[in-house]
Chains A and B, each alone.
Chain A
Amino acid sequence: MNEAFEILFTASFWVAAIRIASPLIFATMGELICERAGVLNLGIEGIMVAGAFSGWFTVYMGGDLWTGVLVAALTGAMFGLLHGFLTVPLGLSQHVTGIGITLLAASLTYFTYRILLPEVSSPPKIEPFQPFAVPVLSDIPVLGPALFNQTPLTYLAYFTVAAVAFVFYRTPVGVAVRAVGENPSAVEAQGISVTAVRIGAVMVGSALMAIGGAFLTMSAFNSFFFEMINGRGWIAIALVVFGSWRPGKALIGAILFAAFDAYQVRLQQITGGVIPYQIFLMMPFVLSIVALVVVARRATYPKALMIPYQKGER
């Protein structure tokens, strides 16, 4: 039992936790932006698949790593544009459209993968992002290596949270995005286009989701394989609720979930097969449901979430 407790104080545990958290942070911020603008984006799972593949493939074809990230982001933004176009000006059901986008993006990706790389039996590899130790900060015991001896994409994830928070609460465009998710007619009445703000938010959000996917192929691992997103998109949707639609709280949620995940892997090792390993696999999900029940019951969600806005509707 003592052993199980000591894991919490090892640097390697926290390094793993932050690494697992990074793609979730991108995805959660992406979903959060969409939902704050009033658009539920269930395309997230598929968009992450598409981002994972397009970023990786760019590098595989000889592109720069950062070019890969950019391509992933653009791929995500394109799917975001599609989702936005269908749900905002056309006002289609956000649920149905989102599931459609997920199926489309994932299937299209697997199809493209098969077309472009028909001959391979084992997944080809790329040279991924390498950890970069931030001088001084990474020397702090335990937390130093965990937070500051990561790949640049993880640092980008931290920056994304700060940027989202800053834009939301300190800039005119952020106020517009929040207002459009609360009451679109408030935005319309102030002379701003609801459609433009919503589509823009969905595109930016989707780009972040795609970068989250690309993290897996370009930073956590070094190749693309099927099923690698494995529900992370759905977890991000739960994390947005857990975080009450606030970037800071959502970040904490993402790290918490990742820590559960990293912890269960290590617990599996020390219990040595006495407890079936499926119990441990289940643990992060069970704990996140419990946390969700506790935290999110009183959350105030964006008022206009999932409500299409039609200008001049009677």
Chain B
Amino acid sequence: MDANNGPEAETVLRLSGITKRFGPLVANDAISLSLKRGEVVALLGENGAGKTTLMNILFGHYTADEGEIEVFGKTLPPGDPHAALAAGIGMVHQHFTLADQMTVLENIVLGTRPLWSFNLGKSAARDKIRRLAVDYGLEVDPDRMITELSVGERQRVEILKALYREARILILDEPTAVLTPMETEALFATLAKLVAAGLSVIFISHKLGEVQAVSDRVVVLRGGKLAGERKTSEATRRELAELMVGGQLPVNKIGPASPRNCLFELKGVSTRSLGGAALKQISMQLRGGEITGLAGISGNGQAALAALISGTLESVEGDILVHGEKAERWSPGAALERGLGRIPEDRHATGMIGDMSVAENVISEAYRSPRFSRFGFLNWKAAADFATDIIKAYDVKCPSPDARVRLLSGGNMQKLILGRALDGDPDIILASQPTRGLDVGAVAYVHARLIEARDRGAAVLLISEDLDEIQTLSDRILVIHRGQLSRPSLRGELSVMQLGELMAGHGHDEGASHAA
């Protein structure tokens, strides 16, 4: 049987009428799709469109309420990952399912041998892994610990896990979200080899460019329903985007920047590590009326920089200058006093307190100000009014200021944070991953507000792992690698590939950490 995907190619997978409800929410509504041998189908949709749920049903993590799955003509028993594996389905999850303090080999052979045997069969396994690695461009040393691997290598281990089990259908859930542009290219090359060998791939993504680059066919989900299906070669980018969003795509216009004086400056600042890389003598300036974008692969010091600016991490050397004056004791309180608006990286962990109300959350940075408290007693009326103002001004969908924040969607939670951070027109705005996990509409909204803040003269630092976002918004781009900064580049000066190289550490010579 040949590997091309003409109309006569064999159908390897068929989902019919899959419906899944979580309480009142219908995550998948009667979705049907099929996959042919040697075909790459992209599953396109926004966050919350039901892509991941659908694939989790296919893989047996969830049980569908209705519908049926057929693999190679046989019905798959629902809710049984073992059966899915045995039928030849391999899944690469968005959040890797690897045991960190074990070797690559151990992770791969896990579950491939009968549990009660006295032998791991390590040497045979090692040979097979090496062979697969060479065949498909997935080089990784089988005897290294997962903790020692880069994110790209970890993903290769995930793919190897599936191939080791002779998977014929590979599902990749947002595989490029964590990769550098180079790693993404390598992944696409691997996928091409897999398809040539007769495997079929489902590629889940919300990035149109990638979908067009790798797939043969695109299936679009929206709000849990099948929104449409197109041959990739016959579909335009605009058409796919509109299918995904269900209407016109919001477009932000960003005018040229008119930078003013420097509002916030770091001079040769070093910090200790905060999980990822520590900052090493970095210098940077944030100027009013300008968005400075900080690109970089996760874990290269972004967390330390954000914490430093917010005042939660102390520097071990160097100076922090605010409005040209040296800040002697930089603490979270001092940062707020000096007019820092802060959008934290993880809205659930550090941005909001899920079990407290909207009103309590919006005053959490300012509850001591006379506006919200007098003689040590909180003024709940003022807090509720403030919350109501934000809800109105930022179009937050929430029942009342008394509602618990946990019940809000990611986008609405982010709007609340935005409202809290931008209240009182702060001069300096720290936006860490401000649009992570938001749908296109909410992303456009957040971007618009950041541009607005820039245009009224605020200095904005945008820390993001999404290069598209960095390139769209930033007037000036810095790249962070192992705690050091690249030279700044202006909007449009560097291509995605050039930025990718900086992110991977090429061109970061020693002197380059002093970004003017």
Report A's interface with B, CB cutoff 8 A.
Answer: 170-173, 175-176, 178-179, 182-183, 185-192, 300, 302-303, 311-312, 314
Contact = CB atoms under 8 A, between A and B. Distances in A.
Contact of A178 (B62, B81, B99, B111): B99
A312 B62 contact: yes
Interface in B96-122: 97-102, 106-107, 109-120
A271 B304 CA distance: 56
A141 B117 CA distance: 40
Nearest to A312: B62
A191 B80 CA distance: 8
B99 A179 contact: yes
A175 B109 contact: yes
B110 A176 contact: yes
B81 A175 contact: no
A171 B161 contact: no
B86 to A, nearest CB: 8
B100 A190 contact: no
Contacts of B84: 191
Given A170-B120, A172-B114, A190-B85, 19 more contacts: A171-B117, A172-B109, A172-B115, A175-B106, A179-B99, A179-B106, A182-B102, A183-B97, A186-B110, A187-B110, A188-B61, A188-B81, A189-B97, A190-B161, A191-B82, A191-B84, A300-B101, A303-B100, A312-B61
Contacts of A187: 99, 110-111
27 contacts: A170-B118, A171-B120, A172-B117, A172-B120, A175-B102, A176-B111, A178-B102, A178-B106, A179-B102, A179-B110, A182-B102, A183-B97, A183-B99, A185-B93, A185-B97, A186-B97, A187-B110, A188-B61, A188-B81, A189-B93, A190-B110, A191-B81, A191-B85, A192-B82, A192-B115, A303-B99, A312-B63
B120 A175 contact: yes
Interface in B435-456: none
A189 B100 contact: no
A89 to B, nearest CB: 15
A281 B7 CA distance: 82
Contacts, number: 88
B375 interface: no
A183 B99 CA distance: 5
Nearest to A177: B115
Contact of A183 (B62, B91, B100): B100
B118 A171 contact: yes
Contacts of B113: 172
B292 to A, nearest CB: 36
A189 B109 CA distance: 12
B180 to A, nearest CB: 24
B439 to A, nearest CB: 17
B377 interface: no
B88 to A, nearest CB: 12
Contacts of B93: 185, 189
A188 B120 CA distance: 19
A188 B80 CA distance: 10
Interface in B379-419: none
A190 B81 CA distance: 8
A151 to B, nearest CB: 28
Contacts of B120: 170-172, 175
Contact of A175 (B61, B95, B110, B118): B110
Main secondary structure of the interface of B (DSSP, over half): loop
Main secondary structure of the interface of A (DSSP, over half): helix
A182 B99 contact: yes
Contact of B111 (A190, A300, A314): A190
A191 B111 CA distance: 7
Query: Which bracket fits the contact residues of B?
Result: 35 or more
B370 to A, nearest CB: 42
A175 B111 CA distance: 9
Nearest to B84: A191
Contacts of A182: 99-102
Contacts of A302: 101
Interface string B333-376: 00000000000000000000000000000000000000000000
B115 A189 contact: no
A178 B115 CA distance: 13
Contacts of A176: 110-111, 115
Contacts of B102: 175, 178-179, 182
A161 to B, nearest CB: 18
B170 to A, nearest CB: 13
Contacts of A170: 118-120
B111 A192 contact: yes
A303 B97 contact: no
A277 to B, nearest CB: 43
Contacts of B91: 189
Contacts of B97: 183, 185-186, 188-189
Contact of A314 (B22, B99, B117): B22
Contact of A311 (B61, B106, B114): B61
Contacts of A183: 97-100
Contacts of B99: 178-179, 182-183, 186-187, 303
Nearest to A304: B99
Nearest to B53: A314
A239 to B, nearest CB: 20
A171 B111 contact: no
Contacts of B119: 170-171
9 closest cross-chain pairs (CB), A and B: A190-B111, A182-B99, A191-B82, A179-B99, A189-B97, A186-B97, A185-B97, A172-B113, A173-B115
Contacts of B118: 170-171
A191 B167 CA distance: 13
A175 B102 CA distance: 9
A202 to B, nearest CB: 16
Contacts of A189: 59, 81, 91, 93, 97, 161
B425 to A, nearest CB: 38
Given A172-B113, A189-B97, A179 B81 contact: no
Nearest to A314: B22
Contacts of A191: 81-82, 84-86, 111
